[in-house]
């Protein structure tokens, strides 16, 4: 894309206007008898995000809830396959996921995401896209030592050898949430206990009813 193309694209954006639909997100949610929510699981590789996200979705499905699970590896096969792992690409990855999560929530769904999402500013940006109370940040606080000991994919070993650049926890930082809605250490809690914490939070906040 040339500089002229970029300039023309920028001018075009000024002529794009938001169109409000006749059906409100609240009407879609009412059909499903649930409060649209994004449950954002964040933590180091190996902390248990994907495992827990799948368990939570199964429990919600069994309770008759309408859900969608977005997992980091799967998303990079499609929507974000053009992105690498530089700081800028990671920010763009989360920006895209945030926008898609917002659309799914507006469709009335309970969205569960499983992303390292290492940078606090990126997670905070996603929170601003959603109504108050609709973003539930769940920090899987499992330590680096435990995550590295698990290393099911062999990623930490490769990162230690310098074979993977910008690897969170080794050569790139992870900025832990300061005030997440939930903090879970999967080294001390079982998968079922961790899932119970999330489900109980959803019931307590009346996102779903019994």
Catalytically annotated residues = 117
CA dist., res. 32 & res. 27, Å (int): 9
SS3 210: coil
Contacts of 44 (CB under 8 A, 6+ apart): 116, 140, 142, 144, 147, 168, 169, 174
User: Pick from 146, 133, 136: which is nearest to 187 by CA?
Assistant: 146
Q: Taking a C-beta distance cutoff of 8 angstroms, is the pair 98, 127 a contact?
A: no
Alpha helix (H) ranges present in 63-129? Answer: 72-75, 87-106, 120-129
Cα-Cα-Cα-Cα dihedral of 35, 38, 43, 49, to 10°? 70
Q: How far is CA 173 from CA 78, 119, 123, 146, 191, in A?
A: 26, 8, 14, 17, 26
Q: Taking a C-beta distance cutoff of 8 angstroms, is the pair 88, 60 a contact?
A: no
Q: Integer distance in angstroms from the first to the last C-alpha of the chain?
A: 53
């Amino acid at each position: 894309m040339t500089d002229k193309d970029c300039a023309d694209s920028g001018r075009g954006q000024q002529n794009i206007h938001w169109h409000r639909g006749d059906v409100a997100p609240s009407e879609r949610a009412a059909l499903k008898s649930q409060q649209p929510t994004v449950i954002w699981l964040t933590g180091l590789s190996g902390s248990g995000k994907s495992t827990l996200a799948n368990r939570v979705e199964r429990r919600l499905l069994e309770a008759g809830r309408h859900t969608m699970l977005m997992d980091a590896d799967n998303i990079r096969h499609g929507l974000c396959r053009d992105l690498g792992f530089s700081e800028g690409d990671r920010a763009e990855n989360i920006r895209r996921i945030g926008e898609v999560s917002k659309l799914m929530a507006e469709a009335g769904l309970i969205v569960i995401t499983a992303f390292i999402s290492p940078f606090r500013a990126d997670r905070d940006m996603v929170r601003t896209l959603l109504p108050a109370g609709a973003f539930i940040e769940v920090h899987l606080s499992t330590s680096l030592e435990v995550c590295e000991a698990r290393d099911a994919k062999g990623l930490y070993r490769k990162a230690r050898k310098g074979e993977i650049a910008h690897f969170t926890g080794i050569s790139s930082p992870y900025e832990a949430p300061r005030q997440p809605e939930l903090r879970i250490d999967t080294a001390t809690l079982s998968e079922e206990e961790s899932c119970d914490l999330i489900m109980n939070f959803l019931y307590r906040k009346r996102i779903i009813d019994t």
